[in-house]
């Protein structure tokens, strides 16, 4: 960490990329799809890590976007090295059918429920939860893909029918 930003975010990028590979994901090859910025906001020093990836060899086009806003101090999630996450979004979803879910820490936009998750649903739903690590989102992506493939094999094709048939207990953080 220096006066220009938080250098740890480069290490964090590497940690998350390693985790993605362990779960069978590959980085999105498009320029700018994944990035790290150790000086997201200069004062107080913060850093941003954002990674986009896809599940290799998935007919459902399973995608994840993992974003963390790091800051000095231990008042946020995942404290380490005198730093913590002030906000995060771990989004997972499929392109076809279009079904997604995400886990958020967003105290600015949702002070009444800073830690929450959005289950797969046809309408926006927010439910409270504790802090979540990126690995939870990656497991949820794999579970979502398996559930959708199973439901499609049972003859469900409409997105609404698939969403209604998902067991949300499988995704609770």
Name the residue among 86, 108, 167, 101 with its Cα closest to residue 138: 101
pLDDT value of position 5 = 64
Name the residue among 79, 77, 62, 67 with its Cα closest to residue 23: 62
Residues in the chain: 173
Taking a C-beta distance cutoff of 8 angstroms, is the pair 103, 87 a contact? no
pLDDT value of position 2 = 45
CA–CA distances in Å: residue 139 to residues 79, 116, 132, 157: 22, 17, 12, 23
Instruction: Please state, in angstroms and rounded to a whole number, the distance separating the CA atoms of residues 58 and 4.
Output: 40
Taking a C-beta distance cutoff of 8 angstroms, is the pair 120, 101 a contact? yes
What three-state secondary structure class fits 136? helix
What three-state secondary structure class fits 121? coil
* Residue in the block written with tokens 């997972």: 92
Q: What is the pLDDT along the chain (173 residues), one digit of tens a residue?
A: 444 567 888 889 899 999 999 999 999 988 888 888 877 666 676 888 999 999 988 889 999 999 999 988 888 899 988 889 999 999 999 988 999 999 999 999 999 999 999 999 998 899 999 999 999 999 999 999 999 999 999 999 899 999 999 999 999 99
What three-state secondary structure class fits 35? strand
pLDDT value of position 35 = 80
For residue 97, whether the previous peptide bond is cis, meaning omega lies within 30 degrees of 0, is: yes
């Amino acid at each position: 960490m220096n006066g220009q930003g938080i250098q740890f975010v480069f290490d964090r990028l590497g940690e998350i990329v390693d985790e993605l590979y362990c779960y069978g994901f590959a980085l999105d090859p498009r320029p700018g799809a994944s990035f790290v910025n150790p000086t997201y906001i200069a004062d107080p020093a913060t850093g941003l890590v954002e990674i986009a990836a896809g599940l290799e060899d998935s007919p459902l086009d399973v995608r994840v976007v993992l974003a963390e806003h790091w800051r000095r101090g231990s008042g946020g999630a995942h404290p380490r090295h005198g730093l913590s996450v002030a906000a995060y979004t771990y989004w997972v979803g499929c392109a076809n059918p279009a079904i997604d879910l995400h886990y958020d820490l967003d105290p600015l936009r949702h002070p009444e429920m800073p830690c929450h998750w959005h289950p797969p649903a046809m309408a926006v739903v927010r439910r409270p939860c504790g802090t979540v690590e990126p690995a939870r989102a990656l497991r949820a992506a794999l579970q979502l893909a398996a559930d959708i493939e199973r439901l499609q094999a049972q003859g469900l094709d409409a997105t609404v029918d698939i969403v209604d048939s998902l067991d949300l207990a499988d995704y609770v953080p």
